[in-house]
Amino acid sequence: MKQDKTDIPCELELTEYQLYLFNNGTNYHCHNMLGAHVFGEGEEFLVRFAVWVPNARSVSVVGDFNNWDKEAQPMHKLGASGVWQCVIPGFRQGSIYKYHIEDFHGQSLLKADPYAFFSELRPNTASVVFELRGYEWRDQQWQDKKAVTALYDKPVLIYEMHAGSWKIKEDGSFLTYRELAEQLIPYVKDLGYTHIELMPLAEHPYDGSWGYQTTGYYSMTSRYGTPHDLMYFIDECHLAGIGVIMDWVPAHFPRDAQGLRRFDGTALYEHEDSRQGEHPDWGTLIFNYGRCEIVSFLISMGVKPLRLQASGCKPIRSLTLALDILFDCLFADIPYATSKVSIAPERFFLPELFR
């Protein structure tokens, strides 16, 4: 099997090769280079921050660790890549941060990290430094069996559910990932299901969207616990012989100020032309699939089965990926029947996403 050269461990310094692939839409593991990555052991450690903001005048990391001082931790731009980077010592698990961006027009923006692994509980919107390493998996028997067993030659029965509404506590609060493992798995197992399909768990601001309007694509929502708690849930599913499918929504994203919209003062993740860059019926924005860096961003999540990342930034456990709103991605040049606003042809069939 040919080795994918982009699937390399996180290093303190980003390489020209990583940046080249990212800018050309072929870095399929760009979560290894962008975002907040922890180096070292113990209570305090180094964190390397990297973010793509090509049209910014200046960028800095702000958060509770520096009293949100935009002058304290400036980032430096890496050539013509559009990526800004800095390394900050003395971090602790759970520190919150955002990027302070002086945008293309000289305005100040506070943005959450598009590649963050964890986020604050809504209504707060900051990203959270989280070390993914440390969870001890117990499902090797499941992984070994899956590697030699064809899924398509046996019956599959999928139980689709929304983690926030499947069952709630008497006080109205959500079940945690660990409580779902305790209550959901026996229920599904007893009914004879082979898989659990989770509606999107990526971080989202509005409960009523059921996760289908995402702001943190690499950040599993903090509504139900930490990434390690989610790992525990998946682990317990596998120990019970239950596969896990996770919905993924690459078709659009919401307009929330901390999110991807006008990330550096320009239409960076979306189209400049509103006929291509907006869902008029939903009030959301559409990814610019013709931009190479957006292809790298999306493929890193979706071209292979979605994975939780840890242990030196290497993939540790595979999940099956359910691509949501596929029609919108493939046929973006077909206007909506209910829309009163014409949508300009996208012209891109997304060959990179589905090859």
CATH number of the CATH domain containing 232: 3.20.20.80
Residue 168 lies in a domain: yes
Q: What angle do CA 149, 151, 153 make, to 5 degrees?
A: 95
pLDDT tens profile 77-104 = 999 999 999 999 988 889 999 999 999 8
- pLDDT given at position 348: 42
d(CA 199, CA 62): 32
Alpha helices, H only, 240-339: 274-277, 292-302, 326-330
Residue 2 lies in a domain: no
Looking at the DSSP bridge assignments, the partners of residue 223 are: none
Q: Write out 156-217 in H/E/C secondary structure.
A: CCEEEECCCCCCECCCCCECCHHHHHHHHHHHHHHCCCCEEEECCCEECCCHHHCCCCCCEE
Residue 30 DSSP label: G
Task: Give the total residue count for the chain.
Answer: 355
Residue 148 lies in a domain: yes
pLDDT tens profile 318-336 = 444 445 455 455 555 544 4
Q: Tokens 């080249």, residue?
A: 20
Q: Write the single-letter amino acid at 310.
A: A
pLDDT of 239 strictly over 60? yes
Contacts of 139 (CB under 8 A, 6+ apart): 234, 235, 238, 239, 317
Contacts of 27 (CB under 8 A, 6+ apart): 6, 18, 21, 33, 296, 300
Instruction: Give the closest residue to 108 by CA, choosing from 64, 34, 53.
Output: 53
Instruction: Give the closest residue to 118 by CA, choosing from 133, 105, 128.
Output: 128
Q: How far is CA 129 from CA 47, 157, 168, in A?
A: 8, 37, 28
Strands (E), 64-120: 76-77, 83-91, 96-102, 108-111
- pLDDT given at position 328: 55
- pLDDT given at position 169: 94
Residue 304 DSSP label: S
pLDDT tens profile 196-221 = 999 999 999 888 888 888 899 999 99
Residue 159 lies in a domain: yes
Q: Write the single-letter amino acid at 66.
A: N
Residue 146 lies in a domain: yes
pLDDT tens profile 28-78 = 989 989 999 999 877 778 999 999 999 999 999 999 999 999 999 999 999
pLDDT of 315 strictly over 90? no
pLDDT tens profile 128-158 = 999 888 889 999 999 898 888 887 788 899 9
This prediction has a pTM of 0.84
Residue 265 lies in a domain: no
Domain ranges, residue 196: 140-252+305-354
Q: At what angle do helices 16-23 and 292-302 cross, to 10 degrees?
A: 100
- pLDDT given at position 176: 97
Number of domains, the chain: 1
Residue 293 lies in a domain: no
**Residue 144 CB-density burial (10 A; 0-12 exposed, 13-18 middle, 19+ buried):** exposed
Residue 342 lies in a domain: yes
